[in-house]
Amino acid sequence: MKKLLFLALIWMMTLIPTNVYAENEVHIYWFHSNTCHHCQEESIWLEKMQQKYANIVLHSYEVGTEENYNLMQKAKELYGVSGRGVPFTVIGGEDFYGYNASFADRMEKAIITYSNRAYDDLIGSYLNGEETVTIGENLLTEEEVSSEVEVVDQNRANQQIWIPLAIVGGVGAVSAIILFLLYQRKKRHGI
């Protein structure tokens, strides 16, 4: 009987759904300064996003060194951004110059969008010595971003409903097995 209960428990565990939609790695290139107040705020936000989204790959560059400063300038050139200030952040195929609380929603939408949509990693290509082009054809309209975010949110909501259903189904299956075993026991002993 213990073996059957154990097997039923193992079978129930297979009913619990896992994350079924594919997620792309989202590369975030973050150019910042240790003395920048906005950079410190963004640092806290980035830590939260890394905890929330396991598919984030954060590339952090403190621009106090000439090498990192020059890389930031090249990244800005690739994305058509002028200026020397920080923070400068690239999430997937979108760039963000500066940071404040109002950027957080747009930046998180970019994470969600590029988790489910292919993009050209211009900075990664540049760092790997591959030929790069400036940004242009890879940009999304605001409607496309909103649409993709809604689809991802709906997919996550649909997945969440399966967990309680799987638990209820598993409990029902175990109950049926227990009743069957009790019936068999009763039948054998003539009760």
Residues 98-114: tens digit of each pLDDT: 998 888 999 999 999 99
pTM: 0.61
* C-alpha separations of 173 from 12, 39, 186 in Å: 8, 53, 20
Domain with residue 99: its CATH number is 3.40.30.10
Lowest-pLDDT range of 19-23, 55-59, 127-131: 19-23
Co-location of 53 and 103 in the same domain:
yes
Nearest Cα to Cα of residue 88 among 36, 24, 25, 142: 36
Report the alpha-carbon distance of residue 105 to residue 24 in Å, rounded.
Answer: 20
* Structure confidence at residue 68 as a pLDDT band (50, 70, 90): very high
Q: At residue 13, what is the residue type?
A: M
- Burial class from Cβ neighbours inside 10 Å (0-12, 13-18, 19+) for residue 117 reads middle
- Residue 60 shares a structural domain with residue 110: yes
Arithmetic mean of pLDDT, 163-187 = 74
Which residues 6+ apart lie within 8 Å of 56 measured at CB? Answer: 25, 26, 28, 49, 50, 111
61, pLDDT greater than 90: yes
Pairing of strands 88-91, 94-97: antiparallel
Half-sphere exposure of 1 (CA within 13 A, CB side): 9
- 46 shares its domain with 84: yes
Q: What average pLDDT is seen over the chain?
A: 80
For residue 78, the enclosing domain spans 26-140
Tell me if 90 is assigned to some domain.
yes
Same-domain check for residues 45 and 130: yes
- In terms of domains, do 73 and 103 share one? yes
